Amino acid sequence: MRQIKPKINQYVIVSLFAAVVILLSAAACDSVVYPEPTESYSVVGGFELTATVDEPGPHSIGLAEHDYWYPYSMDIDQSGNLLVTNIRGAFLERFELHEDGGAEWTAYWAWGRGREEHCYPLFVTNYGPDPDIVVVSEAYSLDTGGQFPEGASAYYLLLPEPELPVSPWRPGWNYIYTSEPPFKHGYQEWENPVLQQYSNMYQPGDVTTEPVPGTMIVVSDTSSGMLRLFNSLGTLLAEGGGMGDQEGVFRLPLGIDYGPDQMLAVADTWNHRVQLFEIIDTPTDEDHPDYVPGYDKQKLFAYRRTIGAFGAHNGELSAPYSVCFDTTGNVYVADTRNARVQKYDGEGNLLAVIYGEGEWRLRMPLDVAVDDNGDLLVLDAFIWYEPWERDFEPDEGARIIRFRRN
């Protein structure tokens, strides 16, 4: 009798194969080992930027324009003071920092056009060689008679010392803002402040200056993804970048910082990563690994490496808004959507994951800075155009938190 062999349906084979692939993939995912931080940081303290004058909170300091702040950027000046942009009131504010995490408000400067013209100082950086000069990028510009050129730009500005800088919480002072001059003690209008304009931008983002000797300035253009390097006279020395997700291009480069050894870190926000570049003299030898055919600028942003990828595990990033170097070349990243700061060495190895704790637990870190002692300062603030699942009042945010390595 003829024996009939069973015929296996080809769809069954395909299904079995797919199941094996899924199981192998799951096993591979389970085997992923995420880096463990080798350093830890603890909260030293902090101060809030949100109180009204009549009802200051226990840690509140500074002027809360319209009862709340919209801070966006900060930098430490040569004297160790903290400069913070308040884009709601179009102010640049200055604070004398204390070792316990607190601070004393000392001065503010009003932006030349202010709220009426919808012009705000977004990002600020201190200019290395001169403590009286800052570089500020402006959110939106209108022509107001020639003092500021029309169109969004970054400006190299003289920072005059205000008269009588005092703390707003000095005993006996209970009202410090009026509609008539002098408005408040420590107030200073910029008069003819523009020393140099860095143009060729549609929407400038962050600004950063070379640490030593500090004569070069980098500006990011968030709308085009371009980076531009200028000297203090406004001469364009280098440009690079563009829109995309490949190496060397960006999707919303919100934060940049110029670090040691001519390194530049870029918070590539919507690509959920940080890219590191070395600023080098433009190679002319076609065999040089960084040679770019047809490139005609004096300097070049040479891509070196990428730190991070999208995710919430250690080492991964979600919409990083800001980045900064310390003096040894370590990189601190405001991992904004993950509500934490991560610290990497210059090779991209994870060193620390910083969340904060208690009342000083991070909620939405927007900017980071490191002082001369190695303490980490974090600008932690909700901002009004971010979608969140719950309602919140603006005065829930806006504080500066100090962290120290254990």
Q: Which of 33-42, 72-81, 139-148, 309-318 shows the lowest mean pLDDT across its residues?
A: 139-148
Q: Give 379 or 155, the one with higher predicted confidence.
A: 379
160-185 pLDDT tens trace: 665 543 444 443 333 333 333 333 33
| Of residues 58, 135, 138, 51, the one with CA closest to residue 102 | 58
Average pLDDT over residues 19-44: 76
Q: Which of 54-58, 171-175, 325-329, 383-387 shows the lowest mean pLDDT across its residues?
A: 171-175
Q: Which of 80-84, 177-181, 285-289 shows the lowest mean pLDDT across its residues?
A: 177-181
**122 burial type by CB count under 10 A (0-12 exposed, 13-18 middle, 19+ buried):** buried
Question: Could you tell me whether strands 187-189 and 103-110 are parallel, antiparallel, or unpaired per DSSP bridges?
Answer: parallel
DSSP for 278-310, written as a single string: EEEEPP--TTSTT--TT---SEEEEEEEEE--B
Q: Give 254 or 117, the one with higher predicted confidence.
A: 254
Report residue 33's pLDDT band, with 50, 70 and 90 as the boundaries: confident
Q: Give the CA distances from residue 205 to residues 165, 215, 293, 302, 384, in Å, rounded to whole numbers and listed in that order.
A: 30, 19, 28, 20, 18
Q: Which two tokens stand for residue 87?
A: 């884009």
Strand partners, 341: 334, 354
Whether pLDDT at 4 is above 50: no
Q: What is the pLDDT of residue 49?
A: 78
Chain mean position to CA 146: 30
Consecutive H or E run containing 24? helix 10-30
State what percent of residues in the chain have pLDDT above 70: 65
CA separation for the pair 119, 9 (Å, rounded): 70
* Number of neighbouring beta carbons within 10 Å of residue 161: 12
Q: Which of 87-91, 275-279, 393-397 shows the lowest mean pLDDT across its residues?
A: 393-397
* Arithmetic mean of pLDDT over the chain: 77
DSSP for 149-162, written as a single string: -SS--EEEEE-PPP
Q: What is the pLDDT of residue 370?
A: 96
Q: Give the CA distances from residue 209 to residues 121, 156, 218, 231, in Å, rounded to whole numbers and listed in that order.
A: 17, 11, 6, 10
Residue for token pair 């900017």:
367
pTM exceeds 0.85? no
Torsion sign across C-alpha atoms 60, 64, 70, 75: negative
Q: What is the pLDDT of residue 1?
A: 46
State what percent of residues in the chain have pLDDT above 90: 44
Average pLDDT over residues 261-286: 97
